Every structure is written in structure tokens, then in C-alpha cells.
Amino acid sequence: MNKMEGRRNFGYGKQMEWAGKQALKDRYGNGRYGTVAGHTERWRQFAAWCRRERGIRDARRVNRSTVSQYGAGLADKVTANAMSVSYAQNLLSSVNVVLQSMRGDRRIRIAPAALVGKRSHVREQAPAGLDRQTVRQCADQLRQNGHERIASVVELARELGLRLREASMLDARAALRQARKLGAVNITAGTKGGRGHRVDRWVPVTKVGMGCLVRAAKAQGAGRNLIPADLTWRQWNTRVHHVWAAVRDDFSLKKLHDLRAAYACERYRALAGSVAPVIAGRRLAGRDADRAARQTIAQELGHARSDVVAAYIGGAR
């Protein structure tokens, strides 16, 4: 779609929310579906705020002051512990991305950290889910409740370190064959930023992980992955979070992302020969062993930089 500045929402459509999504599609083209979906959802919240609080329905009326006022409201929520710094920053970053895509310039771009504070990239608390027996009990409960696919998503997050989208879009039958042959699986579907098909991301499969793949393959049945054929990704994502929220507290578990961090902590111990810094309270492994472990874990988790691993296992000091 060609941008026309003289028309509502820069020519991307009459509805501000819809227009933002079209601008993102125009920017990213075919692919990057996860990126577009994430920015679209966060832009939707900004568009709703503009309509409700400022009566703005056309992105041409949005200026730096508008975004600053939105950011100030997010900052208040962060101060009241009603929202995390990282999420507030993500909300503002998406506003920046969409407006830049619509306008074709960065003139009203706002630095998220300046408004809502800087986020910490170093985990300071050990993740829930370190005890895999507890995770297995939770998965068993989910299966008893008729949520076999969600149970497998939970186990795959813990045993393979997968994101929710990656676990959901994994072809468990093919992964099981690959694991039996090679002892590892290559994660390509559902990866962040669409990097999966360009970068080999091999994740080792333990005996416990093999059992998870067997159960996942059974839950998948004749489907292509663990997402039911009658549901869109967005519908499935909502269902998983709803079901997970209803059961996790019974097993002292938290976010699904914590299971990924638990995987990283366990892998660190296997690779570096000592417990993860977030568990020990400091780095116990030598610098070389620590650095090598972080590089391996970064690749297995699907990150381009090893310093990101601190958000899973703690700092290197």
C-alpha cells in the first residue's frame, strides 16, 4: 500500500488501529509475522488510548506531546508496580515503529527509557520450574483436564527451552524422528523475528526431553503442529495463557517464560560445571567456562547475542 500523506492515517485506512497494521505490513512485507503481530497488538492499545483520552482517531494528529503523555501514563503504572518496565518500553517502542512506518520519518520518536525508566536485563531471582517433577505434575494435571496440547507446550518450554510460539508450532512428529536419529532437534518454526530458516538452532534432547516429544507427537495427532486446526495463532495464544493462569499457582509456577529460564539454568550447570549465578548468588564458574556456556545457551535459546542470557541465568560477575 502506498502512503498518501493527505489522507486519513497517512492513507493507510480510516481506522487508526487498522491503519497501523497495514503500515507494518507495508514495512515488513511478507514474513516477520510474529513481529507484525506483536507491534499490532501494542499499537492497538495506543490507538484505543488516543481515542479514549484525546479524541484522536487519525494518526496525522499524533505528535510528540501525544506520545509523551501516553508514556507518562505508562510511567505511572510502572511506579505503582502495575506494569513492568520492559512491557512499558515495548509499548512505546511499538508506537515509535508504527508511526515511523506511517510517516516515513522519525521526527516524533520518543526514547522509551527516558519516559518509563531503564529495564534490567539481568535476572535476580531463580526461575520457577527448576524442579522438573513439579512441571511434570502440572502437565499431568493439564492432561487430566483435557488440555493435552497445552500440557505438551509446557513440557517443551521446560525441556527444550522453547518460546510459547515455538513450542506451539513445532512439528512434534518430525522433531521426534530427528531427535531419535541425531539426539537434537533444529528449531525453525515460530522463531522470533523469523530467523529460524536462516540460522541453525540445534537443541539437545535428553531422555526426559524425548519423553516430552513422544507425548507431544501423540497430542499433535495428524495435525501439522500443536495448534488445533480450527484455531488461529491469536486464539490459541489466548487459550494457552488462560488455561495456564488457571493452573500454575497450584504448582507454584509463574510465567511460561520462566520455564525457558529454568532450561537455561539447567543447561548452564551441565556446560559450566556449576550452578547458574542467579541460583548461587554469584558466578562460581571460571570466566572462560562461563563465557562458553553463555554462547551455547544463547544459540539454543535462539538469541543472537550471549549477553542476553543474563536475563535467564543471572549476571557474569
Q: What is the pLDDT of residues 244-294, one digit of tens each?
A: 999 999 999 998 999 999 999 999 999 999 999 999 999 999 999 999 999
**What was the pLDDT predicted at 97?**
96
DSSP letter for 230, please: T
Report which of residues 78 and 230 the model is more confident about: 230
**What was the pLDDT predicted at 195?**
47
- Torsion angles phi and psi, residue 204, rounded to 5: -65, 150
In the predicted structure, residue 5 carries a pLDDT above the cut 60: no
- Distance (Å, rounded) from C-alpha 94 to C-alpha 208? 39
Cβ distance 4 to 54 under 8 Å? no
Percentage of the chain exceeding pLDDT 70:
93
**What was the pLDDT predicted at 3?**
52
The stretch 102-121 carries a mean pLDDT of 86
How is residue 119 written as a grid cell? 529495564
Mean of pLDDT over the chain:
90
In the predicted structure, residue 11 carries a pLDDT above the cut 80: yes
Burial 60-89 (b: 16+ CB within 10 A, else e): bebeeebbeebbeebbeebeeeebebbebb
The stretch 220-239 carries a mean pLDDT of 93
- Cα torsion angle, 204, 210, 212, 217, sign: positive
Task: Convert the pLDDT of each residue in 37-71 to its tens digit.
Answer: 889 999 999 999 999 999 999 999 999 999 999 99
Percentage of the chain exceeding pLDDT 90:
76
pLDDT-derived band at 306, boundaries 50, 70, 90: confident
In the predicted structure, residue 193 carries a pLDDT above the cut 60: no
In the predicted structure, residue 4 carries a pLDDT above the cut 60: no
Q: At what angle do helices 233-247 and 132-144 cross, to 10 degrees?
A: 110
Q: How many CB atoms lie within 10 A of CB 135?
A: 22
How is residue 135 written as a grid cell? 512441571
In the predicted structure, residue 119 carries a pLDDT above the cut 80: no
pLDDT-derived band at 316, boundaries 50, 70, 90: confident
Highest mean pLDDT of the ranges 161-175, 189-203, 303-317:
161-175
The stretch 186-203 carries a mean pLDDT of 69
**What was the pLDDT predicted at 33?**
76
Q: In this structure, which CATH number among 2.40.50, 1.10.3470, 1.10.443, 1.10.1220 belongs to the domain 132-313?
A: 1.10.443
> How many CA atoms lie less than 13 Å away from 182 in the CB half-sphere?
11
Sketch the domain layout of the chain as residue ranges: 8-116, 132-313
How is residue 202 written as a grid cell? 540445534
**What was the pLDDT predicted at 64?**
93
**What was the pLDDT predicted at 220?**
95
Q: Which of 71-80, 117-126, 277-286 has the lowest mean pLDDT?
A: 117-126
The model's pTM:
0.68
The stretch 226-255 carries a mean pLDDT of 93
In the predicted structure, residue 194 carries a pLDDT above the cut 80: no
